[in-house]
Copies of this chain bind each other. A is one copy, B any other.
Amino acid sequence: MRITHLAAAAALALGAGLAALPAAGAQDMIVEKKTFELPSFTTVSGRTVKGVKVGWEAYGKLNEAKDNVVLITHFFSGTSHAAGKYTPGDKAPGYWDAIIGPGKAIDTNKYYVVASDTLANLSPKDPTVVTTGPASINPDTGKPYGLDFPLVTIKDFVNVQKALLESLGITRLKAVVGASMGALQAYEWAASYPDMVERIIPVIGAPTADAYLIGWLSLWAQPILDDPNWNKGDYYGKEPPVAGLKTALKLVTLHANAAEWADRTFGRALADEAKNPFVAVENKFKIETALDQAATARANVADANHFLYLVKASQSAAVDPAKITVPTMLLYSPTDQVFLADSVRAQFALIKNARLKVSKTIAGPYGHLNGVLEIRRVASDITQFLDHDMTKPWVIR
């Protein structure tokens, strides 16, 4: 899940007492968005899309053997902007800047780190995102696809990433590392292309979307389907389903966070002390208006059909943990409400054929979002796992 303005503000507000963030400023890594284009892409379901474009970023240097590559796969509302800044004046760096950069856990002095936007990225109106999905122009009609765009799956995301890497001459990955929907992609990489991947680090995610997650994803999407402006996906050039999209985004935001964050940030404070929530339906608590504001900001760059497509893609995750052979380090949050710890642990326990498997918890007040906002807490675990010689046994340091 993306760091929302809300969550980012909360992160700052809650910063005291937590481990210090790396100092920003002079050492900011400046990064550039690039575009990868595939003249034609065929989905796993057998449908072909012309002129598929996705944005990507890279940090560090590709070595001559082209064998120092770490792929970062993004979460539901994330983008390829995993680290660094586009200009020194950017307010915030990429979402995992705490662990990606020179001398950091995923050390760009050592690794060539690649991150790409998925197909149907949630935020096609974000100027830093390049994606192809229902909001894109269908070259055959000159109009947006809408629901004519084929549904896509986690494996389709992986296949686009594979094509991007192959275009760079890369045939082997040191690691695939991703949070949430990015973890689904990491597991899919391990399952589909085990000979290309040396290790995976799924963060706050599981190999398979279980029934409860399928149900929740469906309910995230439902407000969009209920919005009359959605109009079966045909709203481009018309009034878009903003109300439905906003409610969907609110659900994601709250679900991805946790009670400790809510309590410490809002408690039972009112949005307006003069407006008692128990005398009028429209009078709200502070957490209610904060969720509303965060959703409004996100809805400005998001697309409702893309949201639906990402729900379908996330539901498609169905990797059999018993078939994972690639060394795996699972990082999860015990207070995660989206990928519940019990389910994540149960699925991880079924990984019996990996050459190595390790799991660690990520503490913090943000539930699911600990995997993004508190990732620095597991920085040394990530470094150890990346550096580990997989022919040797694992020693816990």
Contact = CB atoms under 8 A, between A and B. Distances in A.
B281 A215 contact: no
Contacts of A227: 226
A107 to B, nearest CB: 36
A153 interface: yes
A288 interface: yes
A222 B250 contact: yes
B211 A263 contact: yes
A372 to B, nearest CB: 18
A165 B209 CA distance: 50
A240 to B, nearest CB: 14
Contacts of A318: 268
A151 interface: yes
A208 interface: yes
A391 interface: no
Given A337-B337, A340-B259, A279 B151 contact: yes
Copies in the complex: 2
A357 B47 CA distance: 63
A163 interface: no
Given A218-B291, A243-B226, A335-B342, A210 B259 contact: yes
Contacts of A278: 45, 151, 153, 312, 315-316
Contacts of A49: none
Contacts of A243: 226
Nearest to A232: B281
A45 to B, nearest CB: 6
A51 interface: no
B244 A226 contact: yes
Count chain B CB atoms within 10 A of each CB in A211, A244, A285 and give the residue with the most.
Answer: A211
Interface in A223-262: 223, 226-228, 233, 243-244, 247, 250-251, 254, 257-259, 261-262
Interface in A168-185: none
B219 A343 contact: no
Given A228-B228, A243-B226, A287 B218 contact: yes
> Which residue, of A219, A261, A280, has the highest number of chain B Cβ atoms within 10 A?
A219
A30 B70 CA distance: 68
Interface of A: 45, 147, 150-151, 153, 208-216, 218-219, 222-223, 226-228, 233, 243-244, 247, 250-251, 254, 257-259, 261-263, 265-268, 276-281, 284-285, 287-288, 291, 308, 312, 315-316, 318, 335, 337, 340, 342-343
Given A218-B285, A226-B243, A285-B315, 9 more contacts: A150-B279, A151-B280, A210-B262, A211-B262, A211-B263, A212-B259, A215-B288, A219-B251, A226-B247
